[in-house]
Amino acid sequence: MLFPTRCPACGHENRAEFADSSIHDLTCASCGARYCLFIRKQRFEVLFDLGTRALMDGYAREAVASFAAALERFFEFYVRAFALERAANTEGDFTAASAELDATWKHVASQSERQLGMFALAYLLREGCAPDFLSPQALGADFRNRVIHRGSLPRREEVEAYAARVFALIDRLLTELGSGAAHAELAQEQAFAAHLDALPDGVTAVFEEHPGMFRAQRFGSERPGKTHPARSVGAGPLSAPLNDAQAFARALAERGSLLTLLKKS
């Protein structure tokens, strides 16, 4: 998936391809200047936005794969945020904790069922209650499998309902994570810093924050949970009910136009 980026030297609009690392080493097609673009966005956000864009453009079936992948990557994000938050609360060293986390994740990286297991435990330990929203029905697993593995052609309304379900779940868990999410974001900042340090002379570093379905909300308002360590365990879920179909529709109306960066052209 290509997106437009402006050369910091001459202003020419180049096109770049989203990278897993969010780090893009680029050379301007017009003036030849080299620059490195860092996009402060988590993979689950990129995937969800790509799904939303595909849905808006009429690619309902393709959208399902992106929404499903967004949810899986969000579970990883949650596990990472939880593990790093816990290390920080016990005054652990961030770099060491991050390395142990990476080594642990290797055991589950290739199997989504294992990742779901890790997420379930992380949720229990952090919130003190069972992740009752993980049932196949609640996750829309049948629908997803029918579309992705059995080639079913979904109707747009079905995809919108699935998107709404995934959106509501991620939105609720982000709310519960509150400032805990910053720990996983710090890991991205560290990867950026390491890459930045190694950039050769003459390469300009450019940092961007691309607006998206979650981003605006995450940084646009104070979230509950800021004082998480003091929150009592067992307090239970604190936010919007699951399957709030309106939440996705509202976000789409408010922020869908922000996704123009992803427009196919």
Q: Of 11 and 136, which CB lies nearer to Zn ion in the complex structure?
A: 11
Query: By CB under 5 A, is residue 10 in contact with Zn ion?
Result: yes
C-beta of 14: minimal distance to Zn ion in Å? 8
C-beta of 206: minimal distance to Zn ion in Å? 12
Helices (H) and strands (E) in the chain, counts: 10, 5
Q: What is the DSSP string of 68-85?
A: HHHHHHHHHHHHHHHHHH
The strand pair at 13-17 and 23-27 is best described as unpaired
Please select the residue that binds Zn ion; options are 3, 5, 7, 214, rule is CB under 5 A: 7
The strand pair at 2-6 and 13-17 is best described as antiparallel
Residues in the chain: 265
C-beta of 9: minimal distance to Zn ion in Å? 4
* Sequence-ordered list of residues with C-beta below 8 angstroms from that of 220, at least 6 positions apart, any chain: none
Q: Scan residues 15-34 and list those touching Zn ion (CB under 5 A).
A: 28, 30-31, 33
Q: Of 3 and 119, which CB lies nearer to Zn ion in the complex structure?
A: 3
Query: By CB under 5 A, is residue 238 in contact with Zn ion?
Result: no
The type of residue at 210 is H
261, 262, 107, 98: which is closest to 193 by C-alpha?
98
Q: Of 24 and 73, which CB lies nearer to Zn ion in the complex structure?
A: 24
Query: By CB under 5 A, is residue 12 in contact with Zn ion?
Result: yes
C-beta of 21: minimal distance to Zn ion in Å? 23
Q: Scan residues 33-62 and list those touching Zn ion (CB under 5 A).
A: 33
- Phi and psi torsions of 68, nearest 5°: -65, -40
Query: By CB under 5 A, is residue 9 in contact with Zn ion?
Result: yes
Q: Which residues bind Zn ion (CB under 5 A)?
A: 7, 9-10, 12, 28, 30-31, 33
